[in-house]
Structure formats: structure tokens, C-alpha cells
Structure 1
Amino acid sequence: MRVRPRQLLCLLALMVSLLALAAPATPASADPVLVNVKPAVVPALQKWQGRTGSFELHRHSRIVFAGAHRDRLRDQLATLPDEIEQVTGRKPALSPRSPQSGDIVLSIDPTLPEAVDSARFKEEGYTFTVTGENVRITAPTAKGVYYGTRTLLQILLLDDGRDSVPVGTAVDWPNYKVRGFTLDVGRRFFTAAFIRDYIRLMGWFKLNEFQIHLNDNGFKGDRPWSEAQAGFRLKTDNAALSGLASKDGAYDRRDWDSFEDTAAANGVTLVPEFDAPAHSLAFIRFKPSLGLNNGDSDHLDLSKPETTAFMKSVFDEFTPWFRGPDVHFGADEYRSDKPRYKTYFNDMAAHIRTLGKHPRAWGSLSLMASSTEGYDRDVTLNSWNNSWYGPQAAKKDGYSFINTNDALLYIVPFASYYHGHGLDGKYLYDNWEPNVFPGGQSVAPKDSQLLGAMSSVWNDLTKSSYTELDVHKLVEPTFGSSRRRCGAAPTRGSRTANSCRPCASSAWVRD
């Protein structure tokens, strides 16, 4: 799949703005024999051993896929020549031949010595070795090699001539497994092109999970539920679900396959979400008998066996589309029938496993259960609100969880709550890490049950007029960098914490 020039130029403009802030100032009289300082990339490199000199990309430079696993790299990095051309103006050829001077050499080596954090290095880490002759990116996996090429592109992008890489050696890996972003498309449709562009943008910043919230509805307020917006965003040819997809926009199988293809090429895993038994007006409109109050509700009626059967049929229909290991079944903010909620939670978790996927859900157990005894523990939870189910409760009950805290990481575009004009970048830079939660709920750094973090966009204001580009403008200032991820830690006076523009959605954090 080729990257469209317009899309990549947009990404490059964003990268220039972030990396320019990250770049350390070079004294006018700098001694040319000084050891090279750590290159400014987003996120910052874990380890760097600088040497002297530079590698120069020239018109005969090639990209060489070396080693026994070269075919896997060809699939992962088919667009790399185009990306280098967009950055440098030079389009290197792909070559299976032996490396020569001036080549970029990419290889997979599953036996590569492990870095400090062995599990994360094995899955997504890489080594980045630069001599005057070559740039060599080696990793245990194709994804790790891909992340190394993002580092290369960023370094070239910031170089004055777009052709020079400082000599030295880097070893790099993420600190957390999940470095993600959630987008609510249920209440506001985003075009398929926008979704693909955002997957590419995530890859540039080594973010690796994109949770797509595929159904939801507006608030009732002082109007009847019949007037509230509701959306379900997948469209199938199955006659049994004809009419479930929203008429104002939905993704068919071809669209979803394009998302999966783009994700695979950019180191991103999709996490699809169907949210029930609350936020379920789209399902109730399709089958009013499934709703509480004779369908006048956005809550499903869990007293009816056909309700759970219907939700299982939705997962049955669409889960074969999904290539990632996890599927999210929602389960947040249900305010009725606590005993049956527990049964529903357990039934859906078990059903998703029968479909070959690992279940995820929003943490809600503190308000939905006087005791969490008997709840399925083999579910990954988004800890989104301390009252509904905070990290300390999830940790005590033995759940793996993701920091998606609403007070810190939610954006509701143009609302008077939940960071309606974007996340608080200065606060996050000064105070935040993935283990940080408000209200005294923080856990230890790299807690074994904490998988990472996600920021989220929720389109609550269904009556407001704004575009997908407007949403991007709210997200972008804190999307690409995180605490201590803008090169070396800034010194006050030379580069402010606010200018570094941290990102709550990433957990590739540097200490």
C-alpha cells in the first residue's frame, strides 16, 4: 500500500514542528571533532553512544534487506523508499544484494542480545548503528525494524541537508506494551481516509494501539430518546443485520481491511470496540424489544435472553474481520440490573474467547458490584474513572489494566469539560507518566499489571458542528511527544516544558 504524498507531507510538517522543538542548540563555534550528541527524535532514544563523523545519504544509496528474514521486511517496509524520498528528495532502490558503502541495511535477528527491558525489546526494540559507511537497523522483529526506520526518517528530517546521520549506536525499546489512542466514531463519523491517515501518524510516533469505538449515542437531555443521535459504524451484507449500520457513514469490509493493512504496515494494532449494555441506542433502534422501558432507553434489557444472544451475534458477524488479538466489549456506565450485568460481563468475555480473541472492557466494577467476587478476571480493563473502577481496585482484584483516566487523558471536543480544547500539555510534561493517576491512585512505575496508557477523543456534543480536521487540531499538540521524550531533558530558559508538547497517549517514556 503506497502512502499518498499529501498524507505524508502533512505528517512531515508535524514532525518538523515537534523535532525542531526537540533539537538541542548547537553552538556557533562547535568543534567538529566533538562526539555526536544524542539525535533528537520523538520519542527520545533509550540509549545512545555517540562517536564522531556522519553517514551521508547519496544518490547511489540503497535499502538492503539482509539476513534470513528479508521477506518479512519487504512486506513491512514496502513504502520506505517513498518515505525517504519525501524527506530527502532521494529515492533509494531496494536491493537483496550485499551491502555497499552508502547503503541502509535492515535485518531481523531473533537472537539479538536483549536490552534492559527484555520483554519489550524482544517485541518492539531495535539497535541503530551508524558508521561513516552504513546505517544498520537490526531488531528481533519486523516491527522493531520499522520503529528503527522511524528514527532514521526523523533524524534525516531534522538535518539541514536532509542527507546526514550522526555516527553512533542507539539501543531503543518502549517501557510499556500499550501506547495507544481511542477515537469515538460512534457519535461522529470519521472518513476511512482519516482513519488510515491517523494510523500512519501513530506509526510515526511509535504508538501501537488504535482503539476504535464503533457505536455510541448522544445524551437524552430534556428530549425523548427517539431524538438522540445513535451510530453503529460497520456495514455487512448479512441480511440479518441489514439496517444496523448508520446511514450517515459506516465502514464496509473493504474499508476495514484497508485499516488492517495500513495498521500492519505502520506497527499499529487495531482494537475494535462494540459498547453495550449501555450506550446501546443504535442496537435498540434496530431491535426496540432489546431496550429497557419498551425501547425508550439507551440501556439494553438484560432480563431477556435474546438481548445477550443478539450482542453475541454482532460479535460473531464482525470478529472475523479483526486481525488483532483483542476485542473490546464496552461494559461501561450501565446503571441498571447489577446482578444481570455480572452475568452479561462474564458471558461476553467468555464468548469473545470462543471467537479466538482476548476480551477487553471498561472498568466499571466499583459501581456495578458490592463485591467483585465471581467476575471473569481474564479481561483487560481500561481504568477510565476512579469512582467507576480505579487502578488500585483493578490491581487488588488481579486485572491487567490500561491507564485511560478521564481526568487526565480525555478530550471532548469543544466541551466545557474533559479538556474541550486539548489536553493539558504542561501539566502532563511536568507530572505525568503512564503509572500516574489522580486522587492518590497512582501505581508503581512499570507495575506488572499496568500495560500502558491511551488518550481518548469522545464526541459527546453530537449537535455541535466541527470537522475531523478540527478534532485533529485538538489532538495534535500532545500527540507526538511525552515526558522527557524530546531529546535530553530540557533546561528551563533554553526550552520550556510547555514547548515540548507532551503526549498522554504514549508510553514510550524516557527517564
Structure 2
Amino acid sequence: MKPSTTLGRALAAALLLAPLATVLSPAPTPAAAAEPVNAAPGVVPALQQWTGGTGRITLTATSRIVIPAGASAPVQLLAAQLSSETAELTGLRPSVATGAPAVGDIALQVDPAADFGPAKTELRPEAYRLSAAAGSVSIVGGGDKGLYYGTRTLLQAVLGSADRASLPVGTAVDYPNYAVRGFMLDVGRRYYTPEFINSYLHWMGWLKLNTLQLHLNDNEISPPNGDWSQAISAFRLKSTNPAFAGLADAQGYTRQDWDGFESTAAANAVTLVPEIDAPAHSRAFIKFRPSLGLNGGNSDHLDLGKPATTDFMKSVYAEFAPWFRGPTVHIGIDEYPRELTAQYKAYVNTIAPYVRSLGKKVNAWGSFTVMGGSGAGYDKGMAVNSWNNSWYGPKAAIADGYQVINSNDGLLYVVPFADYYHPQGLDGQSIFSSWAPHVFGGGQDLAPQDPNLLGAMPAVWNDKVRLNYTELQTHTLIEKSFAALAQKMWSPTAGGSDYTAFLTKVATVGQGPGTGYLPDTVTKPTGTPGDLAFQRPVTASSTETTAFPASYAVDGNATTRWASQYSDNQWIQVDLGTPTPYSTVRLTWEAAYGKDYDLQTSPDGTTWTTIAQRRGRTTPGTDTLTFTPTTARHLRLQGITRGTTYGYSLYSFEVFAPDLAFQRPVTASSTETAAFPASYAVDGNATTRWASQYTNDQWIQVDLGTPTPYSTVRLTWEAAYGKDYDLQTSTDGTTWTTIAQRRGRTTAGTDTLTFTPTTARHLRLQGITRGTTYGYSLY
């Protein structure tokens, strides 16, 4: 699709005065009114249980981190880590001590026998209790990981406070619902620096994610001209053993690098799962030993008919298993030719027990439906990533006796900047609203917390090895959904249903300590002031690809868009949550615009009534439709005829409450000619405008009829814009008070001014300095 064409100097617009809720006179406050009970702190992921108290605990320059005498080495290390992290985030550096906590102190302790509510027995080591009471904070972990997670909640609660030094009094009992809360990164096809990986380990711990799988070898999918000798491939672990000299890519990880990853992972309660993938995706091994490849070495599949092939892979696992401190090694085993199932089964049944003999548990990509029809006859001592419902869906894997990790490709794969598998990143709102670890789609959903469902692991695959993008560009794609995934893997329900509120929490807590290398682009969502559709649930008749979901039309981002399939009668609809009054819809079309379309409302999302129409539109850009105020919960854009051979594509679908200035009496200091009267600034028509004479101190004012509350004014300037101007109110249209100012504006287009809520009958735009040699001109 082409980007949106540029409109001419005439930009569609309106003057919008956003109404406030009615303000009632408060009742007299009783002399001894009870202090309100504290709400749960806004942490990510949200707490499973919270019992609020009153008041706050404040950390000070004399606060200490208190641990028991004789505390274990991990608890001592965590106390020192918490001290430095507190300093990084707040400027306070509490000392570490033993003994009894005093006012302002933080006490850390591990107690497996503590009360962690309904936490599953097997997950109690990751549970914790945080109690802020009697002037100090106590964190009790069911294990070292649980204690660490309690400190994440502490730090996030402090960041969410107005003073960045306190947290609310109350008690949290928190625990995960799933054992595996993971992320997989393909470093085989694209090298990621140690700085990036260590930063991710910090970020994952901050979000209580606990498993990072690194896919350590792979190759491009199709070689140039069918010649695998020209294919880009890599194995990333650099051994000093002469027997493996030349196996690793020049960009790889030394034992020192890997030890650094393991230490960072341990400090942030993350387990590393190294993946060495064979017998497919094995071009790096074949390049090292050409005799081990199918088709005389012109392949990325190992030749399992040769005993030397299995022996070589045993030697690889034996060489690197001592590097890995975690309990699990992933052996790959995906996407091998199905006609070689017998050889493949023999390989799996040899390698899996061999890796276990090295002291490691075994994980693998689920492949057994394609490779033999079921898991019958395959080694059962593995956990399976169910990555594709056809290759091996979760129900088949569980029926065959395996535990499952949800890595479903259609829901959880990102292939950066490709044309498949969420190339622009997963949609965070969709994850938050519609996904949970038991959701696989295609009729394969499991029951929530199925005992054989270990958890989930979304994945980034760098299939497009020849594209030019950086690791930090990958990060911007991952960042869109990482917090939402963390929330749903910790608890699919504790985060509630308000995605806007969730994003506000994400922006407040940030990415945590140790992540300065990673750009943090999540901001508190604002959208266009007054937009009722901003980040509301949205559905569409279709999408062109997964890269253009319906949610992008209401995400407040002017560069993302929804795009439909290439046919006429497509639609997109938004659920405002409750019956809501509105009178204006602003559509911003990409180059694939609609020619003919209706706006329709519905009380139930089923029965629709047309409230506005557009016929014969000929350009992309912004279309503002103003209509008789309507109150309804659901609003739909129903396409009738496309304007191009593509589908329909919207950058934004914005909905606004009735414009208080719409068709109200309006006067101005002057008009350029009779063709541009003041009334055209409030007529709801995006193509008509008021224009003043060519001097500076011109004004336009509107009479709202009665004193009315408002806090937002939206001005849309024609090319003859104002550079400096004031907004002024008046009770009588004579005496004016300035409530907002703009200085130094340099462009035409829309200017939204938001200010302290004001109640007044008259509102005036008082020009001070023009931006051009013309006058002032407002659409």
C-alpha cells in the first residue's frame, strides 16, 4: 500500500468545546470523616490480591534493607541489588543491615511456609507477601524468586507514587498462574549484542517473566538460486575447543559472554533455555561438516541416515551443556521432511535421552502430527512448544502424554518487517483483551490452567536475514505487547479489562533498572483530547494482513492503520462501553480511502441505524462528519464503495461528544469578504471557513447560550493561521478573562488547547500575531 497522499492547504477541522461532567455542590464533610482505604498500587503485572489500609509508608535517606542474620547468599545479593536499584530509580540508597526493621525500613525474608493464599503448590517459590504497615515494609518470598518479585512490586509502587518515595499501606499476596512465562529470541539468524540480551533479562525480571529461550543456530529459509553454499547461516556459541574451530559465526558469544547472561538471568529471576536446533535449520552445522547434509550437502537438513550425523550432534550438546546453568536444553526438531519420518524418529529417540544424560531436561518444538501422525513411539521425556496446530496442536500433544508451552505461530510469532506473522509486532490491545496462555485458536483452546499447560512463550523469528534493521528496531516491535503478554502470563484476569488504564501503568513503571540501553517509547496514552473511541474494543469485517489490525484505527498513533481486504462492503465498529452521546466522527483515510460509506449506530452491536452518510469522496486524508447528537454504545463505519482497487484503510477513527459551539451564535471583529463569515467556523463543515481582515488583533467569539463547563478547545487553522493568540471567557460578552494561550505556532492545521475546567457563557479567540501576511482563517 502507498502512504497517504498530502492534502492541499485546506485541512478539515472544527472548533470543539469538550463538555465536562456536571459538577454538583459537595455535601458538607463530617468532622471526623474516615480516611479512604488505599487502592492497590498500579504495578505490572497487576497484583492477584490486595487488602488496602490507610496512609503511606515513606522511604527516606535513613531507610535500610533489613535481612535476617545468617541469610542465604541469594538473599544477601538481592538486598545489595535492591539498594543499588532503589538509588538508580529514586536517588535514595538504603543501607543493608540485619536485625529488626525500624520506621522507613524494608525487611526481606524467605519463608516457604508463609501464607500465599491460593498459590499452586508448585508455584509457591515464586509467590510473595508484601505488607506495608506500622511504618515499614515487609516482603516474604516463598523462595528466592518470590522474594525478588516482591521487590519489583515495591519499586514499581514507589515509582507510581506522586513523591516517588512512598507506597500505600496495605498487604499484597501475589503469585503466578503459570510456571513458564517466557520469550524466545532468534539470535541464530540475526546477532543480538550482549548488551541487548542483558537488558532484556533485566526487563523480563521487572515484568515477572521467568524464561528466556535463545535460538542459537539457524539460516535463511531459501538460499540464493537454490544454492545452499550461498545461504546466510550462523551458530552463535564460540568454543575454544579446537574440535569446533570454525563452527561459530564471527559474531557469536564466548563462554565469558554466556556466563554474563547466566549471572544477569539469576539476578533477575530468569532461567535461560539455550536452543540448539537440529536436524532442520542446520545449515551452520552442514557448512562446518558438509558430509553431514542431505543432497550432498546442498541443504539445511542433516542427513540422519548417517550415524556420524547423530554422533556429531551428541558432541555439540556435550561441548556446550557445561556452559548452561539452567535445567533445560531445547533440541529443536521442527520442520524436517516428513518422508524421512523413520530416520527422524530414531534421531529424536536418541538425542533426547542423550541430553538428559548430560543432566538436562529436554524441550522441543511440537512436530509429531506431521512426523508420524501422533506422538506414538516418540520419547516421552520432553516438554513441547506447541507452535502450530497442524504440526502438533496442544490437544494432541497432551493426549500423547506431553506437557505443553503455548508458542502458537498465528497468535504469538513476530517476524520483523516481513509480510507475515505480525511483522509490526503483536497488537498489545488484542493480547490484553482476547488472549491468555490457554488460547491457541483453531479449535485447540485448552481449559484455563490445564494441569498439562506449563505456560506460554511468544517468539521473534528473524526470517528476513537480508533486511537491514537493527536490534533496537526489533525492540520497538516487541515493546508494543511485552507488558500485556507479561500480565496475561502472570494472571489473565488480575489486570482487568481497561487497556488504557493498563498502558498508563506500563508508562509509569517503565522498563525498570538496568535497561537504559533500550528505548522506552511507551507513554501514557492520551490520543486526541475528547476522542471517545481511543483504545476502545474494536472489530472489523476483515484485515488485509495481520500487520493492519482494527485496533490500529483507535490506538491514537497517526502512523498505524487498519486495512481491510480488497472488496467493497467492509466495516469497522467500535464499542464505547456504555451508551454515549456524540455528534462528530473524524476519519483519517490512508491512500486506500472510502468513496461511499455510512455511519451507523447500535444499542447492542447487532441492529444498526444509519446516522450519517458520505457519497462520492475522491481523496484520502481527513473527513469530519457532524450530525444530530446521538446516544449509542456501538458505532460502525459501513463501507459501500472503495475509492481505489485496494480495500479500506484508516489511520484513525475518532468519535467526539457534541460540539458545544456547533451552530451557536458567533461574531467576529471582521471578515475578509462576505464569502468567509464567522458562522462558517462553527457550522460543522470541514471545508468552509471564517477569514478576517489582514491585520493582527482580530477575534472571533461564540455565545454558548448559558454558562457551560468545558476544558478543551480545538481550532483548525487554514493556511492563514495564528502565530500568537489567547482563549478568553466572559460571563456577559464584555469583560474577558484569559484562560489559555498559544505562542509561536508555526503551522496551519489543528491546535488543541486543554486547560483547567472553566464554566462560562462566552468564549473568544483573541488573535495577537498572525502567522502569515494574510489574516486569521479558521475552518
Task: Determine if the TM-score, normalized by the shorter chain, exceeds 0.5.
Answer: yes
Contact 2:429/2:499 (CA < 8 Å) preserved in 1? Answer: no
1:88 to 78, 90, 97: 90
For 1:487 and 1:286, the matched residues in 2 are separated by 49
For 2:196 and 2:415, the matched residues in 1 are separated by 18
Name 2:141's counterpart in structure 1.
139
For 1:129 and 1:282, the matched residues in 2 are separated by 52
The 5-angstrom pairing of residues 286-301 of structure 1 reads 286-301=288-303
Structure 1 residues 243 and 491: CA distance shift in structure 2, 3 A: closer
The 5-angstrom pairing of residues 297-376 of structure 1 reads 297-335=299-337, 336-376=339-379
For 2:471 and 2:46, the matched residues in 1 are separated by 29
For 1:461 and 1:380, the matched residues in 2 are separated by 28
Contact 1:44/1:486 (CA < 8 Å) preserved in 2? Answer: yes
What's the offset of the Cα at 1:132? 4.1
The 5-angstrom pairing of residues 158-169 of structure 1 reads 158-169=160-171
The runs of at least 4 aligned residues of structure 1 exceeding 4 Å deviation read 29-32, 483-488, 491-501
Name 2:448's counterpart in structure 1.
445
Contact 2:69/2:98 (CA < 8 Å) preserved in 1? Answer: no
AA partner of residue 374 (structure 1): G
The 5-angstrom pairing of residues 90-105 of structure 1 reads 90-105=92-107
Name 2:285's counterpart in structure 1.
283
AA partner of residue 480 (structure 1): A
Contact 1:312/1:351 (CA < 8 Å) preserved in 2? Answer: yes
What's the offset of the Cα at 1:160? 1.3
Q: Quick check: 1:229 aligned with 2:232?
A: yes
Name 1:5's counterpart in structure 2.
none
Name 1:461's counterpart in structure 2.
464
AA partner of residue 414 (structure 2): I
1:260 to 262, 265, 285: 262
Name 1:16's counterpart in structure 2.
none
Contact 1:50/1:168 (CA < 8 Å) preserved in 2? Answer: yes
Structure 1, unaligned runs of 5 or more: 1-28, 502-511
Structure 1 residues 488 and 427: CA distance shift in structure 2, 3 A: closer
Contact 1:211/1:273 (CA < 8 Å) preserved in 2? Answer: yes
Name 2:206's counterpart in structure 1.
204
> How many corresponding residue pairs?
472
2:389 to 372, 383, 386: 386
**SS of residue paired to 2:370:** helix
Name 1:71's counterpart in structure 2.
73
Contact 2:367/2:392 (CA < 8 Å) preserved in 1? Answer: yes
Contact 2:112/2:125 (CA < 8 Å) preserved in 1? Answer: no
Which protein has greater RCO, CA pairs closer than 8 Å, 6+ apart?
A: 1
What's the offset of the Cα at 1:76? 3.4
Name 1:397's counterpart in structure 2.
400
Structure 1 residues 67 and 454: CA distance shift in structure 2, 3 A: farther
Name 2:153's counterpart in structure 1.
151
**SS of residue paired to 2:182:** strand
Name 2:662's counterpart in structure 1.
none
Deviation digits for residues 389-415 of structure 1, max 9, x if unmatched?
A: 011110110100100000000000001
What's the offset of the Cα at 1:89? 1.2
Q: Quick check: 1:432 aligned with 2:431?
A: no
Contact 1:120/1:175 (CA < 8 Å) preserved in 2? Answer: no
**SS of residue paired to 1:337:** helix
Name 1:11's counterpart in structure 2.
none
What's the offset of the Cα at 1:360? 0.7
What's the offset of the Cα at 1:221? 5.0
AA partner of residue 390 (structure 1): G
Q: CA RMSD of the aligned region, Å?
A: 2.0
Question: Which moves more between the two structures, 143-152 or 362-371?
Answer: 362-371
Q: Quick check: 1:122 aligned with 2:130?
A: no
Deviation digits for residues 483-508 of structure 1, max 9, x if unmatched?
A: 4678544289697467999xxxxxxx
What's the offset of the Cα at 1:462? 0.5
**SS of residue paired to 1:413:** coil
AA partner of residue 330 (structure 1): G
Name 1:471's counterpart in structure 2.
474
For 2:42 and 2:117, the matched residues in 1 are separated by 21
What's the offset of the Cα at 1:227? 1.3
Structure 1 residues 70 and 302: CA distance shift in structure 2, 3 A: closer
Contact 1:36/1:166 (CA < 8 Å) preserved in 2? Answer: yes
What's the offset of the Cα at 1:109? 1.0
Structure 2, unaligned runs of 5 or more: 1-25, 501-531, 538-550, 557-779
What's the offset of the Cα at 1:477? 1.5
For 1:121 and 1:54, the matched residues in 2 are separated by 30
For 2:535 and 2:430, the matched residues in 1 are separated by 16
Q: Quick check: 1:242 aligned with 2:221?
A: no
What's the offset of the Cα at 1:299? 0.2
1:216 to 215, 218, 238: 218
What's the offset of the Cα at 1:378? 1.0
Question: Which moves more between the two structures, 487-496 or 324-333?
Answer: 487-496
1:38 to 32, 40, 62: 40
Structure 1 residues 445 and 480: CA distance shift in structure 2, 3 A: same
How does the TM-score come out when normalised to structure 2? 0.59
Which has the greater radius of gyration? 2
Higher strand fraction (1 or 2): 2
Q: Quick check: 1:422 aligned with 2:425?
A: yes
For 1:40 and 1:46, the matched residues in 2 are separated by 12
For 1:415 and 1:477, the matched residues in 2 are separated by 17
Contact 1:107/1:145 (CA < 8 Å) preserved in 2? Answer: yes
Deviation digits for residues 373-400 of structure 1, max 9, x if unmatched?
A: 2111110010000011011110110100
Contact 1:56/1:132 (CA < 8 Å) preserved in 2? Answer: no
Question: Which moves more between the two structures, 372-381 or 456-465?
Answer: 372-381
**Identical aligned residues as a percent:** 51
Contact 1:120/1:173 (CA < 8 Å) preserved in 2? Answer: no
What's the offset of the Cα at 1:164? 1.1
What's the offset of the Cα at 1:110? 2.0
Name 1:408's counterpart in structure 2.
411
